[in-house]
Structure 1
Amino acid sequence: MSTEEKKGKKEVIREKMIERQSEAKVVRKIVLIVAIILLISAVAVIGGGYFYINSALKPVDPESDRQKKVEIPIGSSVTGIANILEENGIIKDARVFKYYVKFKNEAGFMAGEYKLKPSMTMPEILDSLKTGKVMEELAFKITIPEGKQLEQIAGIIGEKVDQKPEDVFKKLNDKAFVESLMAEYPNLLTEEILAENVKYPLEGYLFPATYPFYKEDPTLEEVVKVMLDKTQSVINEYRGDMEQQEFTPHKLLTMASLIEEEATEKVDRDQIASVFYNRIETGMPLQTDPTVLYAQGEHKSRVLYKDLEIDSPYNTYKYPGLTPGPIANAGVSSIEAALLPAKTDYLYFLATSTGDVLFSKTLDEHNQKKSQHITNN
């Protein structure tokens, strides 16, 4: 190759290098411009979000003195309350309200009919909902304790609505009445409650709580619906966990009722739940005394050996697995224990006279504790 040819080749390479450098500069400029645009967009989004949330937390109309009647039904979730407030023009954004409530860890909102203004601040709205500053005077309250059975609840309701307990109980078990409720609460009251072996369809479905009433003479149907609203609201909070574990409301409330009836104030319900689940997994019967008493329709402090012979699908000494339905109502702590049991190897537990519950992994260990803590008188 001649000297001139070599020089020509070098010139071509040099020109290509210059061209590539020029292209690289263009690419770098483009990347820089894109980066700047993305940064500006991110700042705009963040800034816009901040200003939007800040605005949403302020009163809808600071100058308004106009009062609005806003009804918060019993059993309303935070989401439900937020939607009601937004629909009535008391807050600007339901989602922002919900996140604000969670951030502030607020709770204890009371049902009722309120007089609220668009000029109210967020703290003023929350204070009103927590203190129950309602329009109407309270007529009476019905308190349903945890662990109560349907027949007992019928007595509590009957006393408040001036009806005979037996009449209330009969109505609660009337098929037409139950089916009318099933039509209104299809996601709560399913066909499972009408299964052949279920003793009382609404057993376990009237949630333990204190219910305020602002009407002197509500019908039994109105009272029951208020309680079912509460049950449905509580159940809805756990729908995600229920779907993961393939729990229906009936199965959840049944297991929760067994836990509720066996629990004492001193015990962690999730450990009792672990015993029940461990027994089911190993094929052992649950052998829980409250189910025997429920089968007998009796309330007594002690189950005798002869009681264990009753032939009933509710007798967990004779029949494995869960009872056909709940044997009482259950509170939130028992419902959560049913969904989130402790991880243990326990197969037995024993309640002592002091309210303590002793857990064991083997029958020998259980019998030893039984001989130490349980008298045969």
Structure 2
Amino acid sequence: MYIKRILLLIALLGLVGGGLFAYYVYQTVFSPNTNFDSESTVLIIPTGTTYPKLKTLIHPLLKDPFGFDKIADKKGYIKNIKAGRYILKQGLNNNEIIGVLRSKNTPIQLSFNNQDRLEDLAGRISKQIEADSISLIKVFKDETFVKENEFTEDTALAMYIPNKYEFFWNTSAVQFRERMLKEYNRFWNKVRRAKAKEIGLSPTEVVVVASIVQKETAKVDERPRVAGVYLNRYNNGWRLDADPTVIYAIKKHRGDWEAVIKRVLYKDLELDSPYNTYKYGGLPPGPIAMPDISSIDAVLNYEKHEYYFFVANVENFGYHKFAKTIAQHNRNKKQYVNWINKQGVKR
């Protein structure tokens, strides 16, 4: 009788212990384990992150960090950490959290435009993905890559088409560059290449002209007309006489890319630079900025007209007055010069 009671007690203790263990397992695996008030939070895991480092990132987001560690170990996640950007939703349990970290690297919407140099582009991109600006500029200027894809150091910026793109945060510099090459080739499809050939320019030359158009006017609806002026000059063997190229040449000569130059002076026109289109004929060696797609398409579909000159329209700011003859242009220019002098703009 006594032995039966002992066995019954052991059995009862086993059931209680098993129940408590099952309850603990259930709580550890399936109970909510998030510790933030917002609906969701973003967890960034850098490439090469070890589990001790991951703990410093994820523990503040968890109610029971040590319970998570146990489940992560049991499920083999500790030895298989994946870099990326992960969105953790409020109320996830440990099992669900690990599921997210294993397979739900969430892409970002990366965007860039109006970068004047590769260095500027590298800085802009490094703020959006894991690759830093040093590694980006290194691959952007890689001589072998540039040459193999028929660019030069001066024209390499033309390969990067400004837009919004979907990328994983943990994209490397090389991966970013390779994707941009694919996007460049996708952008320059048969239709655009045919239009470029029709107007006697290569895709890169189109981008060079578009970069000047971009700097000349912020008005998208005016860009085809401005493009028409420059192509009229170019096709008739005139120098482009584009102020933005002189400003670029000054900045490049000084090594001061932050300089603000509101007015081009006559002495500036004498600067000996291949980018000075007042001094040298043809197109400059490369784009002076990253043109919008609207500027590129404005060149490909430029307005056919007989204008050869234009100057800022002080009666309709942002737009320009166009002229067919130098006499007409000088009258328009006089109005602009009088206005800018009244503003006290000397440089």
Distance between the aligned counterparts of 2:171 and 2:267, measured in 1?
44
Q: Secondary structure at the match of 1:241?
A: helix
Where does residue 333 of structure 2 map in the other structure?
370
Where does residue 256 of structure 1 map in the other structure?
210
Distance between the aligned counterparts of 1:267 and 1:309, measured in 2?
33
Distance between the aligned counterparts of 2:231 and 2:162, measured in 1?
24
- Structure 1 position 175, deviation (Å): 1.0
Amino acid at match of 1:363: I
Work out whether 1:328 is the aligned partner of 2:281: no
Where does residue 361 of structure 1 map in the other structure?
324
Q: Secondary structure at the match of 1:152?
A: helix
Alignment check: 8 A CA contact 2:139 2:177 kept: no
- Structure 1 position 352, deviation (Å): 4.2
Q: What whole-Å deviation, never above 9, does each CA across 1:167-212 have from its counterpart, x for those lacking one?
A: 5334321313434xx3xxxxxx32xx23xxxx53412220010122
| Counterpart pick for 2:299 among 333, 338, 341 | 338
User: 1:314 and 1:351, CA in 2 relative to 1: closer, same or farther beyond 3 A?
Assistant: same
Where does residue 50 of structure 1 map in the other structure?
none
TM-score (norm 1): 0.55
Work out whether 1:300 is the aligned partner of 2:268: no
Where does residue 86 of structure 2 map in the other structure?
none
- Structure 1 position 147, deviation (Å): 5.9
- Structure 1 position 289, deviation (Å): 1.6
Residues 231-250 of structure 1 aligned to structure 2 (within 5 Å)? 231-236=184-189, 237-250=191-204
Work out whether 1:221 is the aligned partner of 2:221: no
Alignment check: 8 A CA contact 2:112 2:121 kept: yes
Where does residue 157 of structure 1 map in the other structure?
125
Residues 89-108 of structure 1 aligned to structure 2 (within 5 Å)? none
Alignment check: 8 A CA contact 2:130 2:172 kept: no
User: 1:248 and 1:281, CA in 2 relative to 1: closer, same or farther beyond 3 A?
Assistant: closer
Where does residue 20 of structure 2 map in the other structure?
none
Q: Secondary structure at the match of 1:359?
A: strand
- Structure 1 position 156, deviation (Å): 0.3
Distance between the aligned counterparts of 1:266 and 1:200, measured in 2?
26
Alignment check: 8 A CA contact 2:217 2:319 kept: no
Q: What whole-Å deviation, never above 9, does each CA across 1:69-97 have from its counterpart, x for those lacking one?
A: xxxxxxxxxxxxxxxxxxxxxxxxxxxxx
TM-score (norm 2): 0.59
User: 1:141 and 1:166, CA in 2 relative to 1: closer, same or farther beyond 3 A?
Assistant: same
Q: Secondary structure at the match of 2:157?
A: coil
Distance between the aligned counterparts of 1:238 and 1:146, measured in 2?
21
| Counterpart pick for 1:347 among 297, 308, 315 | 308
Alignment check: 8 A CA contact 1:256 1:337 kept: yes
Where does residue 37 of structure 1 map in the other structure?
none
Amino acid at match of 2:110: I
Where does residue 160 of structure 2 map in the other structure?
206
Q: What whole-Å deviation, never above 9, does each CA across 1:223-282 have from its counterpart, x for those lacking one?
A: 122222222111114122233344322222222222222222264211111111211233
User: 1:241 and 1:212, CA in 2 relative to 1: closer, same or farther beyond 3 A?
Assistant: same
Percent sequence identity over matched residues? Answer: 32
Distance between the aligned counterparts of 2:120 and 2:323, measured in 1?
33
Q: What whole-Å deviation, never above 9, does each CA across 1:261-311 have from its counterpart, x for those lacking one?
A: 222226421111111121123332111122122223335242333332221
User: 1:151 and 1:357, CA in 2 relative to 1: closer, same or farther beyond 3 A?
Assistant: farther
- Unaligned 5+ segments in structure 1 are 1-134, 183-188
Distance between the aligned counterparts of 1:229 and 1:263, measured in 2?
29
User: 1:147 and 1:372, CA in 2 relative to 1: closer, same or farther beyond 3 A?
Assistant: farther
- Structure 1 position 136, deviation (Å): 5.2
Residues 1-377 of structure 1 aligned to structure 2 (within 5 Å)? 138-146=106-114, 148-162=116-130, 164-179=132-147, 182=148, 189-190=149-150, 193-194=151-152, 199-213=153-167, 215-236=168-189, 237-265=191-219, 267-295=221-249, 296-297=251-252, 298=257, 299-302=259-262, 303-352=264-313, 354-374=317-337, 375-376=340-341, 377=344
User: 1:310 and 1:166, CA in 2 relative to 1: closer, same or farther beyond 3 A?
Assistant: farther
RMSD value, Cα = 2.5
User: 1:167 and 1:304, CA in 2 relative to 1: closer, same or farther beyond 3 A?
Assistant: farther
Distance between the aligned counterparts of 1:176 and 1:161, measured in 2?
24
Distance between the aligned counterparts of 2:178 and 2:329, measured in 1?
44
Distance between the aligned counterparts of 1:266 and 1:356, measured in 2?
10
User: 1:277 and 1:308, CA in 2 relative to 1: closer, same or farther beyond 3 A?
Assistant: same
User: 1:145 and 1:289, CA in 2 relative to 1: closer, same or farther beyond 3 A?
Assistant: same
Number of positions where the alignment pairs a residue of Structure 1 with one of Structure 2? 228
User: 1:147 and 1:160, CA in 2 relative to 1: closer, same or farther beyond 3 A?
Assistant: closer
Q: Secondary structure at the match of 2:158?
A: coil
Alignment check: 8 A CA contact 2:240 2:282 kept: yes
